[in-house]
Amino acid sequence: MNEARPESMSAFWMPFTNNRDFKSDPRLLVSAEGMYYKDVDGNQILDGTAGLWCVPCGHAQPRIVSAVREMIGQLDFAPTFQMGHPAAFDLAEKLMDYTGHKFGHVFYTNSGSEAVDTALKIALAYHKARGEGGRTRLIGRERGYHGVGFGGLSVGGIGPNRKAFGPLLPGVDHLPHTHNLLKNAFSRGEPDFGAELADELERLVTLHDASTIAAVIVEPVSGSTGVLVPPKGYLKKLRQICDKHGILLIFDEVITGFGRLTTPFAADYFEVEPDMMTTAKGLTNGVIPMGAVFSKKHIHDAFLDAPAGIELFHGYTYSGHPVACAASLATLEVFKEQQILEHARGIQPYWEDAVHSLKDLPHVIDLRTIGLIAGIELEPIPGKPGARAFQALKKAFADGILIRTTGDIIALSPPLILEKQHIDDLFGKLANVLKNLD
């Protein structure tokens, strides 16, 4: 397989990567099937992260692969501006079914970042359409990740992502994050402490006045900053405060959507209905880039009072791309026919026990689990934040498992099709890695 190695790695400016380090010691994936990648040297790599939280139904899922092949041959591209094609409409209806008809409409994008920026724009335009154009303020949360567009970056709460790119959007504020190692370490599921942090929204309302606030956006479970699970009751409180003040609540479900918590969406898991949900990744099983914003009917309908013509001056050339729609339709079929959620629910307790079996290993200062997600927080090496977890990533890859790290936190999010033997293999190898770190 060595012939697949690229001649030069210089030209590709890799995203969110230490390019110099990677290119001196590359990790190259050349194929994938089911629970496994294969690297350029022919080694099998067990996928502990579904790529990047992307592949709930497993890699190279035959039904999805053939749906994509078929659509490329039939309709390679079709515009959705003042035109349409059947798959985009079929998919929208099927997605509404998948949400249990809690939402009325879906707007297609190509990524999570675009879904977030779309939802923020819809929130602003919605208030304007209703005659409340003063509601321009957007509220995110510390340690939130909402992609890399200027909207998502502005409401996002990760310092290093933001600091080189200012000025960001004006009129944005942030809730405090809910991570509390002192009170909540080693929780299973939702931690007990911290629901009252939602009351910070009341403080922001008092400060800015509700009439200036358009929307609050949060990840129900923060993924990219290391699996921060919401405290019990926190999301319900946010919902109540938003309702009280006419503020829209947006759940960014780019990682939690499509089964990650063993329910269709995190909104179902936490029994909280947001006004909009942003999704991507699992929407097409990661096969073709696609994002989507789900909106309540009343939000969409507010635009119908506008003078006849285009209701929303927004969209992407590839919104509702036929091949992405085909991938997503096939993904929904696989979810149903292969009972992916039921399987995930069945295996979740075994997963949770396996995660918590790491408790007494060196450097482990917290373990967090919810659905088929795990956060494993390590004690940082003094003066070298992130170095210990990054060392774990490299050792894990060499041992045949793919993990993801953010700071000194290892985040795991396997394809939902995994079986007990994969869990045993993943945690057996990970335990070994943890025992051999600096």
Ligand X SMILES: Cc1ncc(COP(=O)(O)O)c(C=O)c1O
Q: Give contact residues for ligand X (rule: CB under 6 A).
A: 111-113, 116, 145-147, 219, 223-224, 252, 254-255, 280
DSSP codes joined into one string, 229-269: PPPTTHHHHHHHHHHHHT-EEEEE-TTTTTTTTSSSSHHHH
Please report how close the Cβ of residue 223 comes to ligand X at its closest, in angstroms: 5
Comparing CB distances to ligand X, the nearer of 117 and 423 is 117
Please report how close the Cβ of residue 255 comes to ligand X at its closest, in angstroms: 4
CB contact at 8 A, 169 and 275? no
Please report how close the Cβ of residue 114 comes to ligand X at its closest, in angstroms: 7
Please report how close the Cβ of residue 175 comes to ligand X at its closest, in angstroms: 15
- Other CB atoms within 10 Å distance of the CB of residue 158: 18
Please report how close the Cβ of residue 405 comes to ligand X at its closest, in angstroms: 14
Comparing CB distances to ligand X, the nearer of 259 and 354 is 259
Instruction: Tell me how far apart the alpha carbons of residues 54 and 260 are, in angstroms, rounded to a whole number.
Output: 10
Counting Cβ atoms within 10 Å, is residue 166 exposed (0-12), middle (13-18) or buried (19+)? Answer: exposed
Comparing CB distances to ligand X, the nearer of 267 and 364 is 267
Comparing CB distances to ligand X, the nearer of 364 and 402 is 402
Please report how close the Cβ of residue 156 comes to ligand X at its closest, in angstroms: 8
CB contact at 8 A, 299 and 272? no
Each as own residue / partner, the long-range contacts of residues 124-127 (CB below 8 Å, 24 or more positions apart, any chain) are: 124/214, 124/215, 125/303, 125/312, 125/314, 126/214, 126/248, 126/299, 126/302, 126/303, 127/214
Query: Checking phi first, is residue 71 left (phi over 0); if not, alpha (psi -120 to 50) or beta?
Result: alpha
Instruction: Tell me how far apart the alpha carbons of residues 117 and 121 are, in angstroms, rounded to a whole number.
Output: 6
Comparing CB distances to ligand X, the nearer of 253 and 433 is 253
By beta carbon distance, the residue nearest ligand X is 112
Comparing CB distances to ligand X, the nearer of 194 and 220 is 220
Please report how close the Cβ of residue 206 comes to ligand X at its closest, in angstroms: 28
Comparing CB distances to ligand X, the nearer of 112 and 191 is 112
